[in-house]
Amino acid sequence: MARHDLVIRRRTSIAQRLPDTYQEKLLAFQKHVLKLRKTHNYTMGAIGNVDETPVFFEMPGESTVNKAGEKTVHVRTAGAEKQRCTVMLGITADGNKLPPFVIFKRKTLPKEKLPPGILVRVQEKGWMTEELYLDWLKSVWFRRPGALLRQRSMLVVDSFRSHLTENVKVKMRQEKSDMVVIPGGMTGMLQPLDVSINRPFKSHLRRFFPDWRCGSTEMTPTGRLKKPSLSQMCEWIVAAWNTIPEEMVSKSFKVTSISNAMDGTEDDAVWLTSPDSETSSESDIDSNESSDEQ
């Protein structure tokens, strides 16, 4: 590369900034979680976290090889870089991954055959709404392994408005599920999915696109490259989700001080991440994807 005057170019992003009072919010969150755990003695499978994350139909690589010194580098796409769906991911502290819940931007459910292990819904803007969140609670959270035993549970959520409506709170109380809300601006420190899971999930997801694009030469009637189909997107989402190991999931609750042993023997796990686990917060990858800003 040096001989041919080539360099690696990478897109940049802006990291999420913590609030000025983050230390007070952090301490209050930890005390609240500890109090609930001492009161209700949840099992690890009854402690969960859920988060919405956008997945784009076109995922070209973040870097490419190009002549050094050029300010603009062109990447060929189908023009669908801004088209996206919302993927609701859920995990529990025992390492279990709940089925992905995908929301496509359309009015009718797709007729094409979809892969197993995924739930698909539609919404005019492709966003999470109160109605869809209640649907997720009914279809996924209240049907997770062990949920039918009606044991008390705890679900950690961010401050996205659809999570905090009165109807949602009533439903959570009816099902004996305690809701713990992460303070605004703190998901990069306190949300297990944000801290440990979303980045490797999307990293695996992006690896499917270049191979598919290299083998797909289909064109639209207007002469553009075709974007991936809905069923293809679902297959990628399921495959990427299956690559996340259980150990990484269970550890994500410990590094965010949610499931650590209450006798203090696991306190050293807080804020520590393994170098090979790709556990950097997704907030540092794409600040405009933060759940707090939806």
Q: Give the domain CATH number at 204.
A: 3.30.420.10
Mean pLDDT over 176-186 rounds to 93
Mean pLDDT over 63-75 rounds to 73
Give pLDDT, residue 102.
97
Q: Which of 10-14, 161-165, 283-287 has the highest mean pLDDT?
A: 161-165
Q: Which residue has the higher pLDDT, 71 or 287?
A: 71
Q: Is the pLDDT of residue 155 over 80?
A: yes
Mean pLDDT over 210-221 rounds to 67
How far from 162 is each of 86, 127, 135, 153, 174, CA to CA, in Å? 14, 10, 12, 20, 18
- Residue at 180 is within a domain: yes
Alpha-carbon distance 291 to 159, whole Å? 8
Give pLDDT, residue 251.
94
Q: List pLDDT tens digits, range 233-289.
A: 999 999 999 999 999 999 999 999 999 888 777 766 665 554 344 434 454 434 334
> What's the structural domain count of the chain?
1
How far from 176 is each of 171, 173, 180, CA to CA, in Å? 9, 5, 13
The domain in which residue 238 lies consists of 43-60+80-217+225-256
pTM for the whole structure: 0.80
What percentage of the chain exceeds 90 in pLDDT?
55
Q: Which residue has the higher pLDDT, 77 or 132?
A: 132
- Residue at 55 is within a domain: yes
pLDDT class of 140 with cuts at 50, 70, 90: very high
Give pLDDT, residue 202.
92
Q: Which residue has the higher pLDDT, 95 or 9?
A: 95
- Residue at 293 is within a domain: no
Tell me which of 47-51, 104-108, 212-216 is least confident: 212-216
Evaluate whether 154 touches 48 at the Cβ level (below 8 Å).
yes
pLDDT class of 228 with cuts at 50, 70, 90: confident
- Residue at 281 is within a domain: no
Mean pLDDT over 206-223 rounds to 71
Evaluate whether 125 touches 106 at the Cβ level (below 8 Å).
no
Mean pLDDT over 180-192 rounds to 91
Q: Which residue has the higher pLDDT, 184 or 45?
A: 45
Alpha-carbon distance 272 to 257, whole Å? 10
- Residue at 56 is within a domain: yes
- Residue at 197 is within a domain: yes
- Residue at 292 is within a domain: no
Q: What is the DSSP string of the chain?
A: -TTTTEEEEE----PPPPPTTHHHHHHHHHHHHHHHHHHH---GGGEEEEEEEEEES----SEEEEETT-S-------S-TT-EEEEEEEEETTS-BPPPEEEEESSS---S---SS-EEEEETTS---HHHHHHHHHHTGGGSTTGGGT--EEEEE---GGGS-HHHHHHHHHTTEEEEEPPTT-HHHH-HIIIIIHHHHHHHHHHHHHHHHHH---B-TTSPBPPPPHHHHHHHHHHHHHTS-HHHHHHHHHHTTSS--TTSTTGGGTT---TTTT---GGGT-GGG-GGG-
Give pLDDT, residue 16.
61
Q: Is the pLDDT of residue 19 over 90?
A: no
Amino acid present at 166: E
- Residue at 166 is within a domain: yes
